[in-house]
Amino acid sequence: MNRILSPAAPVAGLLVLLLALSGCKSVDTVERINPEAIPDPVADERIVTDPTLRRHITVVEVNRATVSGDLTRVQVRLQNNLRRDRTVQYRFEWYDAEDMFVDSPTSVWRVRTLKGGETIALSDVAPNPRAVDFVLKLQRN
């Protein structure tokens, strides 16, 4: 049986390919080979309830610092493993030395978009000196 392809088929295929390629836009970066910064890394535990998000977004490293004398500041670097944009929602929660939740009047879910292959840093400052531990919550947008 002879299959007759419509003349529009190659054009449609090309269009689909072009659309797919236009969606794959990743970020190139340039940085120092030997950075001057001396990070204070935090050993972290990751609880994954969304395997898709884990595949798409990697937690590269978690660092801590002290600001304003006695407030803990944390920074979490995330990498987008996809070649297209990925938007995530995130929120930091803080806990004191007795593992009790420390509320903050400005704590809110936030949104960040990572370009394809991009690495970004999310940071937060403890609401008070008693807050020493943190949890970063991430979810798909």
Partner 1 sequence: MHHSLRLLRPVCAATAVALVSTLLISCGGRYIETAGTDTIVSVDQINIQDWSMAADEMVQSLLTSGMLERAPTQPATLAVSRIVNNTTEQVDADYLTRRIRVALNQSGKVMTTTTIGLGDVVEDPLARQLAREYEESGDEQVIRPRPYFTLSGKLLEDRARAGRTRQVTYTFQLALTEVDTGLAVWEDVKDITKQGRRPSVGW
69 belongs to the binding site for partner 1 (CB under 8 A): yes
Q: Please, which of residues 83-112 interact with partner 1 by CB under 8 A?
A: 89, 91, 104-111
Cα angle 54, 82, 135 (rounded to 5 degrees) comes to 35
What tokens does 123 get? 């940071």
Q: Which residues contact 11 (CB under 8 A, 6 or more apart)?
A: none
Characterize 46-56 residue by residue with b for buried, 16 or more Cβ atoms within 10 angstroms of its Cβ, and e for exposed.
Answer: eeeeeeeeeeb
Minimum Å gap between C-beta 23 and partner 1 is 19
Among 67, 100, 121, 135, binds partner 1 (CB under 8 A): 67
Minimum Å gap between C-beta 96 and partner 1 is 13
Q: Using CA atoms, how far apart are residues 39 and 61, in angstroms rounded to an integer?
A: 10
- Mark 13-52 with x for binding to partner 1 (rule: CB under 8 A) and - for no binding: ----------------------------------------
Q: Which residues bind partner 1 (CB under 8 A)?
A: 67-69, 71, 73, 89, 91, 104-111, 123-125, 127-129, 139, 141
